[in-house]
Structure 1
Amino acid sequence: MHDCLAFADAVTAAEEAAEIRALASARTWGEARQVRMTHLWNPAGPDYEDPEDGYADDEPFVITELGAVMDGRWPRMVTTRAFEVLPQDLQDRYGKREFTLHDGDYLEIPLEGEAELVAELRGRGYDVTRDDELINLLDGFSLGSLAG
């Protein structure tokens, strides 16, 4: 979203992507409420959307019309993950902390630094691979294409 590098933990990223796909494939609000999340929170779940507020279980569900998706709260911005997965010294050297009104801080790492940063991470024993499709899904970029 911010045209910069983003990182995710490979151990959980595929499972998080499966949770996003499962919610996006729900056809009704009832199905959406039943999607179990381990890594993410379910923005269609009973803790966030009450059927008494006008979303009956048999009503059609469209993930891109979900309040938390429309206002950018779900899934959380993927560029915030760099604070969790990158060593602090590399965050300081390659990135710049930026602030957004809705999502809080994220680490902006310019694309130009990719090769050098990846080499440094690999030199420290990190297994680094690039998967733009996965990163975009974790960021919610392709949610509309998953629905339906």
Structure 2
Amino acid sequence: MTTHHPTSLRLVYGHAKNHDCLAFADADTAAGEAADIRALAAARTWGEARQVQMTRLWNPARPGGYEDEYADDRPFDITELGAIVDGDWPKMVTARALAVLPQDLQDRYGEIVLTVHDGEYLKVSLGGEAALVAELRERGYEVTRDDDLINLLDGVGIGW
């Protein structure tokens, strides 16, 4: 088993609707990623979408994708992006726990689930929230719950 080392002592977490479990993300990068997602979702045309400058994520509307044939003035609908339709963008938020939670807490509170297309993620039961958050705080983590942010990072609700 690979040992994962947390990258930040600041975490944001919440109820990830897509997998009905808790998801954890690095609070130092989450807001920037959410801003990238919102900026792309706000584009009105394909030309605007291609020009969106991302600070944390890659822009799936950039040239090189199979949407290249769309004219710059064509109305943009983020839900038409192949990377979103295929579930490749944004990356599955529940997979982040594998990088940001200490290994022993992953083992105690989570269960690794293997998906067919997106690899593995850590399923952390909603019932373990209080104990896990308490243990993280005892270890010096700053932990904040934000369901909306977690679900935005998972692509829930963008463009709908």
TM-score (norm 2): 0.86
Partner of 2:12: none
Partner AA of 2:91 in structure 1? R
Deviations 1:71-92 (A, max 9, x none): 2111011000001110111111
Partner AA of 2:28 in structure 1? V
For the pair 1:39 / 2:56, whether they are aligned, the reply is yes
Partner AA of 1:45 in structure 2? R
For the pair 1:136 / 2:151, whether they are aligned, the reply is yes
CA distance in 1, matches of 2:67, 2:81: 13
2:73 to 47, 53, 58: 58
Partner of 1:91: 106
For the pair 1:69 / 2:84, whether they are aligned, the reply is yes
Fraction of identical pairs, as percent:
71
For the pair 1:116 / 2:131, whether they are aligned, the reply is yes
CA contact (8 A) 2:67 2:81 kept: no
CA distance in 2, matches of 1:133, 1:113: 20
Deviations 1:100-130 (A, max 9, x none): 1121100000100000000000000000010
- Alignment size in residue pairs: 143
For the pair 1:126 / 2:148, whether they are aligned, the reply is no
CA distance in 1, matches of 2:23, 2:138: 19
CA distance in 2, matches of 1:95, 1:47: 38
**Structure 1 spans left out of the alignment, 5+ residues:** none
Question: Structure 1: which 4+ aligned runs deviate by more than 3 Å?
Answer: none
CA contact (8 A) 2:79 2:85 kept: yes
Partner AA of 1:96 in structure 2? E
Partner of 2:6: none
CA distance in 2, matches of 1:122, 1:48: 43
CA distance in 2, matches of 1:57, 1:42: 15
CA RMSD, 1 decimal: 1.1
CA distance in 2, matches of 1:113, 1:5: 9
Cα 1:76–1:44 shift into 2, 3 Å: same
For the pair 1:30 / 2:47, whether they are aligned, the reply is yes
